[in-house]
Structure 1
């Protein structure tokens, strides 16, 4: 790497709207014009203009090969906050991209600072002027557009960025598994030969959810342990606890989490549900006073939540720029006769919601609209669900009995269900089956004996490997 001088990553200043950069230690030369790595930015017609360099001791520029959607550039910083992550598929001269709330080939680029994505309400376009794919190649991108982080007037952002590729690496895939003692990070890049990347000590860890490329959250059940841990996973092999939130009468047991814009909705077993900001650890109670078991986001239109009173739909709107306090409006509650359980799970396929119900040993298909939640069909699955995943017109459900009646009988394993017919098409018996995530052609399943990886490309569960160290409770991975 080149020996680059220091300062601050300017996009952090842009992202948070810092407006006093002129004359405060910024680099006097335009980095791209003198062959350095850094950024030149002009915000709001020269009100906020600066030339800043990247700190070479903290910045890594990777060219990544082997991703299913194509090669990409990953630029990230290490060490103290702000931790920056910039991903882009726009690797060739002439490529253009926009900034989305997740990394996808349609938009092409994704930027996050300390796990918080660049504001959604932006029209910034990035143009790749000089591309590269080898160590030492110089890459130049310019950018221009408006963003309005607080709905109080748009900022115009114009500038360019220059970097030099430090290393060429292969795309890696990791799963994150809680086992009651640790958060295990397992490298499944080669699904035939998984390996343990690292352990993060988290006693009584149960729930885990990957929020984005930089952040995962983990819940712990023991009263003396934190309510929630924010895990920095920017470098999965070196994952660590970045922040914690203590238990209290308001923070009891974390049961589920979903990303909503640049925030996270948390369900809490015994208290109000929360709206959480990973970058700042801000938390706001939302909704009704009773606890929640699981939640799903229906097309950025409704939150569908299950609790002890039944399934509820909350209108959230298509374009939500959420600020505290956020109070979604309850538009419908379904069946007070439904008995909820903290291990129930609800997911959706973009058209319907699907509820895996522990008490009834059922998979319930739901239609959600502005005036009602309608039960369309019910499948008896013959066991008590522990996890649910909806993927490509299939439901994958892990089930396991417990030591306590009435949950001490029933199927133990995983079932694959065709959602168009609501029929089981394959099943595998396991031991204390606990978690399931699906990505691409693989299903990753945890039970008491390990992590089991199945090829699902043929419409069935074809076991290709078992990793004994991968036993655990919940499992999560990054879905683009």
Structure 2
């Protein structure tokens, strides 16, 4: 009898994803009727009724598009073991599936617990009562069947599962990481179980930027060729070097890249800015001999550039006719309150520009208008930035000390900053933190120990997995 109770408890925790009933209050009699997310068991051989609510901070519901067999739901728990993964192609009202041992089964469902397919022996059927395809959409399923995980006699279980969609993503989600030797393509479609999709040999690879669904550019730091490698990523798992651009007296070290229409603007550490056409791999000089540190496109109205000659931030007039070259006659020097560094980064949130400054260990908020760049606020972040990402009113900054004075001290890790208050709301210590990109509810962070994936949906950095092979320098992904 006790064993039967234990089995039922395991089923409950599996479907609930290790919920803790939201941590407060009394249980709802029937969560799937009152609008909460959870599971209601209304029939079993041992217990007549049982229910449990989902803890939203530990449960993620995705509507996933782009799979060859069709769209599907991915429901998973995180944070503590056991970690549940439930995939089902039964996404429309009236769809029915049975639990299977394989994922790629049209209209099927696949359940794992801590990576183990589960249950092993069953005829459990899932019926979709309500289906959704947008964030916030309600999903409701009922399940029933005989369950026998340990071959000691099956028992029957009947109940309902109800959830709300947290995000809509594409089936194929990849991040691209340079590590000085290779460009690593890491499959993060399942964020709790990332894997290496392929590795492209690129000696001295440093900077990487995904331009579109077909092209990524990689900058290399060695004095030998090449300067930039153009990578075909049409099929991420078969990425390859499509073309290279040679070094020259004006091609030294690529520091940043942004996409403008069908072209790419590059900044170079020791030389001038360049207009790079990735389709033909042609490169045109579009600036004077200033060294360029970083650049951002603010509302297709202004380019904000941190330039190496005056070590200052410039505002550059911009339109889709591309007013080039970036010569002093076309550049307005509007702000000189910054000592720059090649690792400085500029990003924007559509309204303001933000500079992560290595020398001053600061995140600086700037207002950009037709006549001036004005500093609105400055936050001491206590370390030397290595990467900056702006996403949904938050800044994510990785920082790492170096061997070079005065940059050999300070915070090593990532900090999450509320841009409305310009205050740090969370931080995680790492080892030589080097890169960060954010998409959906995940922040992907690289350091010397690997690729760390954090769930950020609760307004903090919640680690859900680490991929040890994911260590590297810069990291990039397809951002749309």
TM-score, scaled relative to structure 2: 0.64
Q: Distance in 1 between matches of 2:438 and 2:189?
A: 14
Partners of 1:346 and 1:356 within 8 A in 2:
yes
Q: Would the alpha carbon gap of residues 282 and 67 (structure 1) be closer, same or farther in structure 2, given more than 3 Å must change? A: farther
Partners of 1:346 and 1:353 within 8 A in 2:
yes
Which residue of 2 is the match for residue 431 of structure 1? 431
Partners of 2:335 and 2:374 within 8 A in 1:
no
Partners of 2:450 and 2:467 within 8 A in 1:
yes
Displacement, 1:321?
3.8
Q: Distance in 1 between matches of 2:180 and 2:302?
A: 33
- Residue deviations 1:99-158, cap 9 Å, x none? xxxxxxxxxxxxxxxxxxxxxxxxxxxxxxxxxxxxxxxxxxxxxxxxxxxxxxxxxxxx
In structure 1, list runs of 5 or more residues that go unmatched. 1-60, 69-169
Q: Distance in 1 between matches of 2:427 and 2:338?
A: 26
Does the residue aligned with 1:388 lie in a helix, a strand or coil? strand
Which residue of 2 is the match for residue 311 of structure 1? 313
Corresponding residue pairs, total? 318
Which residue of 1 is the match for residue 471 of structure 2? 471
Q: Would the alpha carbon gap of residues 419 and 323 (structure 1) be closer, same or farther in structure 2, given more than 3 Å must change? A: closer
Q: Distance in 1 between matches of 2:458 and 2:304?
A: 32
Q: Distance in 2 between matches of 1:327 and 1:356?
A: 25
TM-score, scaled relative to structure 1: 0.64
Which residue of 1 is the match for residue 221 of structure 2? 221
Q: Would the alpha carbon gap of residues 186 and 372 (structure 1) be closer, same or farther in structure 2, given more than 3 Å must change? A: same
Partners of 1:441 and 1:456 within 8 A in 2:
yes
Which residue of 1 is the match for residue 39 of structure 2? none
Structure 2 matches for 1:47-446, cutoff 5 A? 65-66=70-71, 171-308=171-308, 309=310, 310-317=312-319, 320-322=320-322, 330-446=330-446
Q: Would the alpha carbon gap of residues 467 and 273 (structure 1) be closer, same or farther in structure 2, given more than 3 Å must change? A: same
Q: Distance in 2 between matches of 1:324 and 1:286?
A: 6
Q: Distance in 2 between matches of 1:452 and 1:289?
A: 39
Partners of 1:333 and 1:373 within 8 A in 2:
no
Partners of 1:400 and 1:432 within 8 A in 2:
yes
Q: Would the alpha carbon gap of residues 293 and 67 (structure 1) be closer, same or farther in structure 2, given more than 3 Å must change? A: farther
Displacement, 1:292?
0.4
Partners of 1:443 and 1:456 within 8 A in 2:
yes
Q: Distance in 1 between matches of 2:349 and 2:284?
A: 28
Displacement, 1:281?
1.1
Q: Distance in 2 between matches of 1:326 and 1:359?
A: 26
Partners of 1:284 and 1:326 within 8 A in 2:
no
Q: Distance in 2 between matches of 1:358 and 1:225?
A: 29
Partners of 2:273 and 2:326 within 8 A in 1:
no
In structure 2, list runs of 5 or more residues that go unmatched. 1-65, 74-169
Q: Distance in 2 between matches of 1:298 and 1:67?
A: 36
Q: Would the alpha carbon gap of residues 280 and 464 (structure 1) be closer, same or farther in structure 2, given more than 3 Å must change? A: same
Partners of 2:67 and 2:171 within 8 A in 1:
no
Partners of 2:335 and 2:372 within 8 A in 1:
no
Larger Rg: 2
- Residue deviations 1:276-315, cap 9 Å, x none? 1000111111133211000000011111000222000101
Partners of 1:331 and 1:370 within 8 A in 2:
no
Q: Distance in 1 between matches of 2:261 and 2:322?
A: 8
Displacement, 1:213?
0.1
